[in-house]
């Protein structure tokens, strides 16, 4: 069982920055690929930035060059640095841990953290 706890959301003006954090319980370093997703009101949840099982990163076109995903040394914490924020980035942001290898098929989500970009 993996528990994910996000933090760092809030209200920010357009052009501002926020850093989201996701702390995972348990040992996940080689078992799960972590990433960030978001869901805006009335829209489907979408991938924002993720690590692949090989450790490379993928970004949604809409955030490339503005958002950066990274992880802590122990690989049980993942961050999302968000710069040059736009009103269309407003959403609930969710941390995800997806099983790889023999853990494939396991899928865990955090409770979400609200990000609001508004003047």
pLDDT tens per residue, range 48-100: 999 998 889 999 999 999 999 999 877 789 999 999 999 999 999 999 999 99
Residue 28 has pLDDT above 90, yes or no: no
The residue written with tokens 């370093």 in the block is 29
Distance, CA of 6 to CA of 20 (rounded, Å): 7
Question: Residue 115 has which token pair?
Answer: 């990000």
**Contact present, 14 and 6 (Cβ < 8 Å):** no
Least confident interval from 16-25, 44-53, 99-108:
99-108
Distance, CA of 69 to CA of 46 (rounded, Å): 15
**Contact present, 114 and 7 (Cβ < 8 Å):** no
**Contact present, 71 and 79 (Cβ < 8 Å):** yes
The residue written with tokens 């009335």 in the block is 42
pLDDT of residue 29: 67
Q: What is the mean pLDDT of the chain?
A: 94
């Amino acid at each position: 069982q993996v528990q994910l706890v996000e933090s760092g959301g809030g209200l920010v003006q357009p052009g501002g920055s926020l850093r989201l954090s996701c702390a995972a319980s348990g040992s996940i370093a080689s078992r799960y690929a972590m990433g960030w997703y978001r869901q805006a009101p009335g829209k489907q949840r979408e991938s924002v930035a993720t690590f692949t099982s090989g450790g490379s990163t993928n970004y949604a076109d809409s955030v490339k060059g503005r958002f950066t995903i990274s992880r802590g040394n122990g690989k049980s914490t993942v961050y999302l640095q968000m710069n040059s924020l736009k009103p269309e980035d407003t959403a609930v942001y969710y941390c995800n841990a997806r099983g790889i290898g023999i853990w494939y098929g396991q899928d865990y989500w955090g409770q979400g953290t609200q990000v609001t970009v508004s003047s």
